[in-house]
Structure formats: structure tokens, C-alpha cells
Amino acid sequence: MLIRKDGLNLEKKKRSINLNGELIWLNEPVVMGILNVTPDSFFDGGKYQNEDAVLKRAEQIVEEGGKIIDIGAYSTRPGANDVSAKEEIDRLLPAVKLIRDRFPQVGISIDTFRAEVVQEIVKEAGLCMVNDISGGTMDEKMFETIAQLKVPYVLMHIQGTPQTMQEQPQYDDVARDVIRDLAAKVNHLHRLGISDVIIDPGFGFGKTLDHNYELLNRLDAFEEFRLPLLVGVSRKSMIFRLLGITPQESLSGTTALNMLALQAGADILRVHDVKEAVETVKIYEKLKSTLK
């Protein structure tokens, strides 16, 4: 693999992810469905607190066309309360085991920034993709843990922590600064031998409303990485605050931004509403197929 000194890839864009020995192909964009086993997530907190609810949600994601289920046990909404690693594992592990046993065909991603949590889940439930909202900034052992376990890694950009990230975030140039930060980390990950890296610009994580829209408007710049690009804007404040509505009323706005993200090169859409996102991908693919 040819990598520039700044971490950007000189080869063609990577079109697959090796997840637990199975390839997830990205020739067409795929949808990642969100399953939060937390009591306080901004949109669906408290909905999936027992086995039946977890399995019903997982079944819905699979039936509606989701290829990956992203399971989170730590709320990262702005100002969310901290929880211990033990509590995070106690929430996460039963859900991962349930879904792996019932839906072995679906990819599983764990949404955590803690290397300890990754190690315990992989030991007890098998290999999973790791979706790290901190991009390795909140646990210095994360990168070496990913290298040791050889699991796919979603590298997201954040400024600050979930508790502080919306306290006056500042950038000289948001797209350039985010790309520069991610490029340095991609370079580090590649030096450690980690090849399955997915880039996430981190919409809503240490960005103002204007930062988010400027980042979306320049999303095609992230194609320089030649790595899969994950976009997660589902029902976020960049939609409902702009429109003066609630997260529950933000589906149409989410769909609009998902289409824009696909047109700018997104490979994975991380969403609450899987059916609508899958339909958006189908429309995008049809539109793309008519290009001469």
C-alpha cells in the first residue's frame, strides 16, 4: 500500500472491510443501523433495555437492509454523564452475544472509546468492528489494541470529549483541520499494520452548526484518503436546531443530508432509520447508473 507522509493513500479507494473473516463489500454504500443500549441517548435512550427489545431492534435493522449493527452502551450526546468501563461492558456484552447468536450474518460494530471494553467484548463474543468516537484520543491503548486484535476500526474526529466538545469549538479551517488530524492518525495506524480503517469526520462532535455544514459541503475532500468514509448525521442537532424541530421530527432532514453525503462519496451511512436510508442508497445508485 502506498501511503504519503501525511497519511493519505495514493492507491485506489479501498472497497471492502474484513469483519470476522467475512468481507463487507462497499461497491455500493451500505447502511449501519444504530442500537443504543443506554438509558440516555439523545434520540432512542431507554428503548432497548431488555433482551426482547434488543432482538426486535436487531431484527428490524436486518429486515430493512442494514448490513452492520452499531451497538453503543455509552451515551455520547453533548453533556452526557460518564459511566464506568464495567457498566459499559455489562450493558454491551449481553446485547452483542444475543445479536451474534440470532443474526450471525450481520456485521457487528461496538461503539466505544475504551480499549478495555474492546478487549473484553472480543474475548467473550468474538471479533467486531470498533467505532471509536474519540479517534484514539481518550484511551492511549486503543490503537495498539486494534493492531493486536486486527479488527476494523472507525476513526472519528472529535474536538474535546463528549462532556466538553460543544464548549466553543474552534478551527482555522474546519475541513482542512479535520483532514490534517485524521491523516496523522491514519499514518500512525498504518505503521502499526492496521489496514481496515474507516474515516468518520465526526459531525456534531466538537463542531458548531456552521462547522457541520461547511464540513458536509466539502466532504468530497475526504476522498483523498482512499479509505471507506462513514457519515453519521442521523437526527442530529445540525438538523433539528436549524429547522427549529425535535430529533423525533428530523427524519426528512436526515434523508436529505444522507443523499448529499452519498453524492460526496460516503460509503457507510450510520442511521437510526434503516429503511429510509436503504431507500436513499437505492435512489442514489439508480441516479449514478444514468451517468454517461
Choose the catalytic residue: 236, 282, 286, 288: 236
* Burial class of residue 169 (count of CB atoms within 10 Å of its CB; 0-12, 13-18, 19+): middle
Distances (CA, A) of 128 to 118, 151, 245: 8, 6, 35
E strands, 26-159, in order: 30-36, 68-72, 107-111, 129-132, 153-156
Distance separating alpha carbons of residues 90 and 80, to the nearest angstrom = 18
| Active-site residue flag, 270 | yes
**40 Cβ contact partners less than 8 Å away, ≥ 6 residues apart:** 46, 75, 77, 80, 81
Distance separating alpha carbons of residues 228 and 267, to the nearest angstrom = 6
Alpha carbons within 13 A on the beta-carbon side of 187? 12
Name residue, grid cell 434523508.
255
Distance separating alpha carbons of residues 92 and 112, to the nearest angstrom = 10
What's the full length of the chain, in residues?
Answer: 292
Query: Concatenated DSSP letters for 66-102?
Result: -SEEEEE-S--STTPPP--HHHHHHHHHHHHHHHHHH
| Active-site residue flag, 13 | no
Choose the catalytic residue: 114, 241, 270, 286: 270
Say if residues 156 and 165 touch (Cβ distance below 8 Å): no
Distance separating alpha carbons of residues 25 and 55, to the nearest angstrom = 25
Annotated catalytic residues are: 236, 270
